[in-house]
């Protein structure tokens, strides 16, 4: 009795070539969109990582019962040999006052794993730090003037540090001033009046309660609405939607009772 058998035929060189060409075409169509999506996520991801870093610094200040600060290198420091070891000079620097009795005011860089690494991805960086609770008057001034035209107490207080990105100090009990970190994808040499042309996210830190949330900058017409209704300009929750806020939107977002 004859046994049945089958013949297995491998793929020919032409078939393999056709498959390779098809895969190359698909990759050429998909990869640009993939990299674009990744690029678009760099700003919100960086803002979220800044939020996490603030939470971590607060927790360590309470655990160590020591004073911490978060700051950024200014242009002179970036060019200083002392900071050559910093791979990306635009990342936030975490420092700690290790000996508040014998070396009060002396801050040392925290090199522990949680405090180092890339908080900001790609070309994302922090263009401005505003110390203090956000106010309507301040935001209105920011839309009309350049920072050089304001009286900034931070410039006098932190003469040896970046005046437009002053440090945030977090006390041993975890409390601190309010702070707004403006994170952007704008070029490093962008002029202040050109910032609205680029995406920005404000990482707002309530230093009293330890709450952190993300807001996009408010538009001029929104500020007019807030002024008319005498509403605070902080939402205490994430808000990144690009559409202009209506009165009903604000009432819902801020949980303000309708009068």
Q: Say what the pLDDT of residue 128 is.
A: 92
Domains of the chain in sequence order: 45-254 (3.55.40.10)
Specify the pTM: 0.80
Task: Provide, rounded to the nearest whole percent, the portion of the chain with pLDDT above 70.
Answer: 81
User: Residue 176 — very low, low, confident or very high, per pLDDT cuts 50/70/90?
Assistant: very high
Q: Which residues pair with 202 in a beta bridge?
A: 182, 215
Q: In which order are the strands placed within the sheet that holds 168-170? A: 108-109, 93-96, 68-71, 168-170
Of 71-85, 109-123, 191-205, the one with minimum mean pLDDT is 71-85
Q: What pLDDT score was predicted for residue 18?
A: 79
> Which pLDDT value is given to residue 35?
46
What is the pLDDT at residue 37?
58
How confident is the model over 20-64, as pLDDT tens digits? 778 777 767 766 554 455 566 899 999 999 999 999 999 999 999
Whether pLDDT at 185 is above 80? yes
Confidence of residue 104 (pLDDT cuts 50, 70, 90): very high
**Separation CA 85–CA 111 (nearest Å):** 12
The owner of tokens 């089958």 is 6
Note the pLDDT of residue 146.
56
pLDDT band at 213 (very low <50, low <70, confident <90, very high): very high
CA–CA gap between residue 202 and residue 213 (Å, rounded): 8
Mean pLDDT in the chain?
83
* Strand residues in 149-199 grouped as ranges (E): 168-170, 179-184
Q: Is the pLDDT of residue 248 over 80?
A: yes
Instruction: Identify the pLDDT of residue 4.
Output: 56
Q: 108 is written with which tokens? A: 């040392």
What confidence category does residue 76 fall into, taking pLDDT thresholds of 50, 70 and 90? confident
pLDDT of 255 reads 63
What pLDDT band is residue 216 in, cutting at 50, 70 and 90?
very high
Residues 24, 28, 30, 31: is their CA dihedral positive or negative? Answer: positive
pLDDT of residue 193: 78
Average pLDDT in the 156-164 region? 58
Residue range 77-105: average pLDDT? 88
């Amino acid at each position: 009795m004859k046994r049945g058998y089958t013949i297995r035929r491998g793929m020919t060189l032409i078939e393999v070539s056709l498959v390779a060409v098809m895969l190359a075409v698909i990759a050429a169509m998909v990869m640009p969109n993939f990299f674009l999506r990744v690029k678009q996520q760099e700003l919100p991801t960086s803002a979220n990582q800044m939020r996490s870093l603030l939470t971590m610094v607060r927790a360590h200040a309470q655990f160590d019962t020591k004073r911490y600060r978060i700051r950024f290198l200014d242009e002179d420091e970036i060019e200083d040999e002392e900071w050559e070891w910093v791979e990306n000079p635009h990342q936030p620097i975490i420092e700690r006052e290790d000996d508040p009795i014998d070396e009060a005011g002396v801050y040392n860089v925290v090199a522990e794993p949680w405090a180092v690494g890339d908080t900001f991805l790609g070309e994302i960086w922090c263009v401005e730090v505003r110390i203090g609770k956000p106010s309507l008057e301040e935001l209105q001034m920011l839309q009309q003037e350049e920072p050089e035209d304001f009286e900034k107490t931070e410039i006098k207080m932190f003469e040896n540090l970046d005046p437009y990105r002053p440090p945030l100090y977090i006390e041993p009990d975890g409390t601190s001033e309010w702070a707004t970190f403006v994170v952007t994808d704008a070029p490093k040499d962008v002029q202040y009046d050109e910032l609205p042309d680029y995406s920005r996210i404000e990482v707002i830190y309530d230093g009293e309660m330890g709450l952190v949330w993300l807001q996009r900058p408010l538009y001029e017409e929104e500020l007019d609405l807030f002024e008319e209704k005498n509403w605070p300009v902080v939402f205490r929750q994430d808000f990144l939607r690009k559409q202009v806020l209506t009165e009903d939107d604000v009432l819902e977002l801020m949980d303000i009772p309708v009068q």
